[in-house]
Amino acid sequence: MDSAKVTASLASSSDAMAAFIKTSFGDPKQEIRREDWAAPMTAQDIVLGRFAFNALLALTDNSHFQYQEGFLPEEHWLGVRSTIGGAIAASSYLRDHVEATLGQRRPAFRDALIDIMREIDEDSTPGRIRD
């Protein structure tokens, strides 16, 4: 199934959207960080969250590939890169999923994800002065 169909299916399901919210703002140890969505994650939440994350990563990889091949301008890729970086920085569950599935990614996209996570880690180093 292609990522656009997965994304559309997830977006049309209230259960899938609830799972995406829980997994996006929770962590894999079942500790929900956002009080508004505080509810235990179920196995269904975790599975649906993984589907949503895989669809997000597939769409991001597609943009990266098109950028590399010259079909998309750098500005587009930088915007997509910023979005996925923000999502990875905000969600420990997504970060864990990205790290666990790096070996399944296209080599150039895997390198881009590693760079993004390295930048996140450098930006969150205690005592670092940001520009």
In a domain, 27, yes or no: yes
pLDDT recorded at residue 93: 81
Q: Which stretches of the chain score pLDDT less than 50?
A: 1, 28, 30, 32-38, 128-131
In a domain, 39, yes or no: yes
In a domain, 128, yes or no: no
pLDDT recorded at residue 66: 97
**Residue 27 and residue 92 in contact, taking contact as beta carbons nearer than 8 Å:** yes
pLDDT recorded at residue 32: 47
**Residue 56 and residue 87 in contact, taking contact as beta carbons nearer than 8 Å:** yes
- Report the candidate in 22, 39, 38, 44 with the shortest Cα–Cα distance to residue 93: 22
Range of the domain at 12: 3-123
pLDDT recorded at residue 45: 74
